[in-house]
């Protein structure tokens, strides 16, 4: 939920921590940042694969436009 709110809802971690504290679930900002870092590390191979695919398509389109 923390990662979705961070990336999907564009909710800063400090606001999430404040909201969780108001709801009776105190989570430190550093713990939330560690979780986001772990999510990013796990997702890195997927990001690299998508990046390679996008640049391959971009290069293919450029070659097509040049008539190669």
Q: How far is Cα 63 from Cα 65, in angstroms, rounded to an integer?
A: 5
Integer distance in angstroms from the first to the last C-alpha of the chain?
Answer: 47
Q: How far is Cα 13 from Cα 31, in angstroms, rounded to an integer?
A: 10
Distances in whole angstroms, Cα of residue 31 to Cα of each of 14, 26, 36, 37, 53: 11, 10, 9, 10, 33
pTM of the complete model? 0.73
pLDDT tens string for the chain (68 positions)? 999 999 999 999 999 999 999 999 999 999 999 999 999 999 999 999 999 999 888 777 776 777 65
């Amino acid at each position: 939920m923390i990662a979705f709110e961070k990336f999907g809802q564009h909710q800063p971690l400090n606001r999430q921590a404040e909201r969780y504290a108001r709801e009776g679930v105190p989570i430190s900002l550093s713990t939330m940042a560690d979780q986001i870092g772990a999510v990013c590390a796990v997702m890195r191979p997927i990001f690299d694969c998508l990046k390679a695919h996008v640049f391959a398509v971009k290069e293919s389109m450029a070659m097509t436009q040049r008539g190669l």
